[in-house]
Structure 1
Amino acid sequence: MIKTVIIDDEISAQDLLEKTLQRYFPNKCNVVEKCNSVDSGVEAIKKHEPDLVFLDIQMPEKNGFELFNYFEVVKFEVIFTTAHNQFAIKAIKRSALDYLLKPINKLDVGDAIKRLEAKNKDSLAQKKLSLLLENLNVNDQNVSKIAFPTVDGFELVHSSQILYCKAESNYCAIKKIDGYNHMITKTLKFVEEILPESSFQRIHKSYVINLNFVVRYHKANKEVELTNGEKLPVSFRKEEEFINAILQNQ
Structure 2
Amino acid sequence: MEIQAIIIDDEQHCIDTLTWQINKYTKEVRVVAAFSSPKEAIVYLESNAIDLVFLDIEMPEMNGFDFLAQVQNIQFEVIFATAYDEFAIKAFHASAIDYLLKPIHKDLLISSIAKVRKKKQPKILPEQMNILYGALNAKEPVKERIAVPTQEGLHFVRVNEILYCISNSNYTFIYLDGGKQLLVSKTLKEIEAMLPVQSFLRIHHSHLINFKKIEKYIRGDGGYVIMDDKKSLSVSRSRKEALLSKF
Scaled by the length of structure 1, what TM-score is found?
Answer: 0.50
1:92 corresponds to which residue? 92
1:107 corresponds to which residue? 107
Instruction: Give me the whole-angstrom Cα distance separating, in 2, the residues matched to 1:122 and 1:53.
Output: 11
Unaligned runs of 5+ in 1: 141-250
Instruction: Give me the whole-angstrom Cα distance separating, in 1, the residues matched to 2:102 and 2:42.
Output: 23
1:207 corresponds to which residue? none
Instruction: Give me the whole-angstrom Cα distance separating, in 2, the residues matched to 1:10 and 1:30.
Output: 20
Instruction: Give me the whole-angstrom Cα distance separating, in 2, the residues matched to 1:41 and 1:134.
Output: 26
Instruction: Give me the whole-angstrom Cα distance separating, in 2, the residues matched to 1:124 and 1:63.
Output: 17
3-state SS, counterpart of residue 132 of structure 2 = helix
3-state SS, counterpart of residue 80 of structure 1 = strand
Instruction: Give me the whole-angstrom Cα distance separating, in 2, the residues matched to 1:7 and 1:54.
Output: 6
1:3 corresponds to which residue? 4
Alpha-carbon contact 1:74-1:126 (below 8 Å) kept:
no
3-state SS, counterpart of residue 54 of structure 2 = strand
Cα gap change, 1:133 to 1:52, in 2 (>3 Å): same
Instruction: Give me the whole-angstrom Cα distance separating, in 2, the residues matched to 1:40 and 1:110.
Output: 27
Aligned pairs (5 A) from 1:51-130: 51-85=51-85, 87-121=87-121, 123=123, 125-130=125-130
Cα gap change, 1:63 to 1:124, in 2 (>3 Å): closer
1:24 corresponds to which residue? 25
Which amino acid is the alignment partner of residue 111 of structure 1? S
Alpha-carbon contact 2:75-2:122 (below 8 Å) kept:
no
Q: CA deviation at 1:43?
A: 1.9
Cα gap change, 1:13 to 1:48, in 2 (>3 Å): same
Which amino acid is the alignment partner of residue 69 of structure 1? A
3-state SS, counterpart of residue 49 of structure 1 = coil
Cα gap change, 1:130 to 1:34, in 2 (>3 Å): same
Instruction: Give me the whole-angstrom Cα distance separating, in 1, the residues matched to 2:77 and 2:120.
Output: 12
1:147 corresponds to which residue? none
Instruction: Give me the whole-angstrom Cα distance separating, in 1, the residues matched to 2:86 and 2:43.
Output: 28
Instruction: Give me the whole-angstrom Cα distance separating, in 1, the residues matched to 2:62 and 2:7.
Output: 16
Q: Which has the larger radius of gyration?
A: 1
Instruction: Give me the whole-angstrom Cα distance separating, in 1, the residues matched to 2:88 and 2:49.
Output: 26
Percent identical among aligned pairs is 37
Instruction: Give me the whole-angstrom Cα distance separating, in 1, the residues matched to 2:57 and 2:115.
Output: 20
Q: CA deviation at 1:108?
A: 1.1
Unaligned runs of 5+ in 2: 141-247
How far does the alpha carbon of each residue in 1:98-134 deviate from its partner, in whole angstroms, 9 at most, with x for none? 1001111221110101111122236554432343234
Cα gap change, 1:77 to 1:87, in 2 (>3 Å): same
3-state SS, counterpart of residue 16 of structure 2 = helix
Instruction: Give me the whole-angstrom Cα distance separating, in 1, the residues matched to 2:107 and 2:37.
Output: 26
CA RMSD of aligned residues (A): 2.3
How many residue pairs get aligned? The number is: 140
Cα gap change, 1:30 to 1:126, in 2 (>3 Å): farther
Cα gap change, 1:106 to 1:69, in 2 (>3 Å): same
Cα gap change, 1:44 to 1:84, in 2 (>3 Å): same
Which amino acid is the alignment partner of residue 43 of structure 2? E
Scaled by the length of structure 2, what TM-score is found?
Answer: 0.51
Instruction: Give me the whole-angstrom Cα distance separating, in 1, the residues matched to 2:72 and 2:20.
Output: 32
